[in-house]
Amino acid sequence: MTHQVHAFEPPERFVAGTVGPPGERTFFLQARGGGRLVSVALEKVQVSLLAEKLEELLTEATRRFGVSLPEAPVAAVDNAPLDTPVDEEFRVGTLGLAFDVDTATVVIEAIAVGEPEPTEELGGELEEDDDEEPDEDLDRLRVRLTPAGVREFIERARRVVAAGRAPCPLCGQPLDPAGHLCPRHNGYHR
């Protein structure tokens, strides 16, 4: 089975977005560039964590390499919906981040869920091959962004995550339109 690497270095647009009504939203990372559009599905918590880790990466890059950090974007905020069609290439299992010091860019890699193809061992002992990544046989989306592009991505990702259902004031879990059984009330409605 051949794996695909969808590389956008840099993309024309790279955003987190959702499809569906609150409570049933599917989260996507979407990259567009060079006439291509790639959408990969992931969990809400992964979007939130990605924004958090990117923020930490920018802070660390500034501290260690003196990278000038752009302020949060004020104008030209990308609130547009995801480009259509939103065809899921794969579901994200792992997210990887790296800072390229030479180009002062951030590389984000979304790697598909799944097990690599098992390789047959014909000997009595299993050898560990440290040169090969365990997820090398999986599809991936690779995006290279400037610090300003990363900042824009973080801001939008946070808005997208926050735009869901309102949290319960007691337990913090999302409220459904019909209410919910709050664990703080021992399962009784208010």
Of 132 and 15, the structure prediction assigns the larger pLDDT to: 15
The pTM for the full model equals 0.77
Query: Rounded to whole angstroms, what are the CA distances from 112 to 3, 31, 47, 72, 141?
Result: 10, 15, 15, 30, 9
The number of beta carbons lying within 10 Å of the beta carbon of residue 55 is 14
What residue spans define the domains of the chain?
Answer: 5-116+134-185
Query: What are the tens digits of pLDDT across the range 37-90?
Result: 999 999 999 999 999 999 999 999 989 988 877 666 555 678 889 999 999 999
Residue 116 DSSP symbol: P
Give the right CATH number for 5-116+134-185 from 3.30.2450, 3.30.1490, 1.10.20, 2.60.120.
Answer: 3.30.2450
Q: Residue 85: what pLDDT?
A: 92
